[in-house]
Every structure is written in structure tokens, then in C-alpha cells.
Structure 1
Amino acid sequence: MIIAVSGTPGAGKTTVSRILSERLGYEYVSIKDFALAKGIGERVGDEIEIDVDELSRAIEREFSGKNVVIDGHLSHLVSADVVIVLRLHPRIVAERLNFRGYSRKKLAENVEAELVDVILVEAIEENENVIEVDTTGKTPEEVVSEILSLLEKGVKRRVGIVDWSHAYDDVVQYLMLGGD
């Protein structure tokens, strides 16, 4: 089974993916490392540009029929048996990305993306089986337990459980309204 774990930067993808792969006995795959190793991605400044179509084909070739957890904020765009979209309160996303030294523009883009469900919407457009999980106020172990419980129950689709519309006032200071 291919499980893709996606979400806005700062939502806990890597930590959750590593624990999930360990608990399931699945191989852990970082989408960034995989893309770079296969020549699908290239470093451009601080970022890695990846051809998503080529990445999806390579993931399918390499991992079809295998048990893997794929970690990365583009993983929801590849062929997977189930996509887990991790959600996190946008204010906490801002705090974490600020701590990581993200530029004001990058921080604003990611806070806005979380606020308006960008990754969830893309995941739903690309995949049939999408499970949304709110990580706010939960430890990574609690998040993994929730994911495992949903998978054990046979849940294939759970979306629309997070609504950050009430959080706008909490994050407006991080947004770049009206441009730079």
C-alpha cells in the first residue's frame, strides 16, 4: 500500500510519516530525497523544483505493490492508495515557519494555503481516497494513532473536518494583503 502524507509546511508531515512507517513496518520515502536521487528535482536557491508528472510516474514504477509511506508537501499529487492530509491551525503554521526562518512572503503564502485548504482541495482533485487529520494540539503519536485507527476501520475518505474561517483574525498579521 502506498500512503502519501501531505500538508502545509510545519504541519508535522515528516515526524508523522516516520512514526507511521515505523508502526506499520513500511518503508519511509522522502519525496524531496527521492526526486533528487532520480534526477526529477533540482535545487533552485533554497527550494527544489520537481516535475510532478515525472515524479508520479517514477513513484508508481518504483513502489507499485510495495508498502511505503511517502512524505512531502507534493505527495498528494502522486498516485497513492490513500492520501493523508495533515492540517494545522494557521497561526501555529506561521509560528513554526517563522521559527524556521521562512521569508515573510513564503510564510504568508503557506499560512494562506492552510487557511483556505489548498492542499486538501488539490488532494481531492487528484485522489479518490483522502483522509484529513487535524494535528492541532496533538502529539505526533496521537496523530499516528488516529490515522491507524481510521485505516483499520476501512475509512477511505474523510474530508471537510477542518474549517479555519474563524482563524482569519488570528493570522491576518501574517498575510500579505495588497501585495508586498
Structure 2
Amino acid sequence: MMVSITGIPGTGKTAVSSLLKEKGYSVTAQNDTIEKYILERDEERDAIVIDEDLWAEEFPVFDGIVEGHITHLLPSDRVIVLRCRPDVLEDRLRKRGYSNAKVKENVLAEALDTILIETVECHADDEILELDTTSAAVEETAAQIDDFIKGLTPAHFGDTDWSEFLGGDL
């Protein structure tokens, strides 16, 4: 079973995936797989632009977890979308040294449910689990994902609403 752990940068994908790797899951980082799909570097956004469609089409299906902010585009059997309250996400991204523009872009994408919407467009409802990591311990999130992969937790999404953060200083 291939599982995607996705979400805006700063929601906890890498931290959770590291714990799941310790539990015995095979984990692949999206960033380790995109080199040949890079189209350009967007200096203004401090981002790389890749051919997402070709990357997803050519990605080898495997038994394990792939983590990254576009892994929901893959033909995974399960997709976990990690979420974080925009004000907390902003703090996390600033601590990483992200530029103001990059912080704003990512916080706005989180407030607008961008990755969740894309996930729902690509996957069946029973394949998606949305988890709010704002105040959850990494261990708790990893346990919830483990239970979802094992079929002990049902698919669930759509309860997270960050719309109150829209219209402010985003």
C-alpha cells in the first residue's frame, strides 16, 4: 500500500514520517525524487518549479510512505493531509527563515485549504484523512496515521476551517 503524507510546509510531514520510519515503515521524501522534473527555479518565490504531472505519472508505486507537499498528486492508496492553524504555521515558517513572501504564500494556501481541495479532487473520500497538527504531539499524529494505514481509523476530512484567518494580514 502506498501512502502519501502531504500538507503545506511546516505542518509536520517530515517529523511524523521520521517517527513512522522508526516504526518500520519505508519512507521516501518527495524532494529526493524530483530532480529530473525541475523546470526552473523561481527566484521571486524562492521555489523550484517541477513538471508535477510527469513526476506523478512516472513515480514508481511502492509499498510505503512518501512525504511532501505535492505527494497527494500520486496514485496513493491512502492520503494524510496535515493541517496547521495559519498563525502557528506562520511562526514555524519564520523560524525556518522563510522570506516574508514565501511565508505569506504558504499561510494563505493553508487558510484556503489548497492542498485538501487538491487531494479531494484526486482521491476517493475513503482514502483521505485530515489531521490538525497545530497543538498535537508528533507521536500522537504518527499514531493516528499508523491506525489509519492499518484500517483502525476511518477516513475523515472537512472539519478544519481556517477562514477566520482570511482578510487579515495574510
How would you bin the TM-score normalised by the shorter chain?
Answer: 0.7 to 0.9
> What is the Cα-based RMSD across aligned positions, in Å?
1.9
- Which digits, 9 at most, give the CA deviation of each residue in 1:123-151, with x for residues without a partner? 00011111101111111111011112233
Contact 1:52 1:78 in 2 (8 A): no
- Map 1:53-72 onto structure 2 (within 5 A): 53-59=53-59, 62=60, 64=61, 66-72=62-68
Residue 136 (structure 2) aligns with: 138
> Structure 1: which 5+ residue stretches go unaligned?
176-180
Q: Name the CA distance, whole Å, in 1 between partners of 2:69 and 2:162.
A: 19
- Which digits, 9 at most, give the CA deviation of each residue in 1:39-67, with x for residues without a partner? 122561442222111111221xx2x3x32
3-state SS, counterpart of residue 66 of structure 2: strand
TM-score by length of 1: 0.83
Regions of 4+ moved over 4 Å: none
Residue 72 (structure 2) aligns with: 76
3-state SS, counterpart of residue 34 of structure 2: helix
Aligned with residue 115 of structure 1, among 111, 120, 124 = 111
Aligned with residue 90 of structure 2, among 94, 101, 108 = 94
Contact 1:4 1:82 in 2 (8 A): yes
- Which digits, 9 at most, give the CA deviation of each residue in 1:11-53, with x for residues without a partner? 0111112222332x222111111111xx122561442222111
Give the paired residue count.
Answer: 165
Q: Name the CA distance, whole Å, in 2 between partners of 1:42 and 1:70.
A: 22
> Structure 2: which 5+ residue stretches go unaligned?
none
Contact 2:131 2:141 in 1 (8 A): yes
Q: Name the CA distance, whole Å, in 1 between partners of 2:49 and 2:22.
A: 28
Shift of 1:99: 1.3
AA partner of residue 113 (structure 1): A
AA partner of residue 11 (structure 1): T
Q: Name the CA distance, whole Å, in 1 between partners of 2:152 and 2:52.
A: 28
Higher fraction of helix: 1
Residue 178 (structure 1) aligns with: none
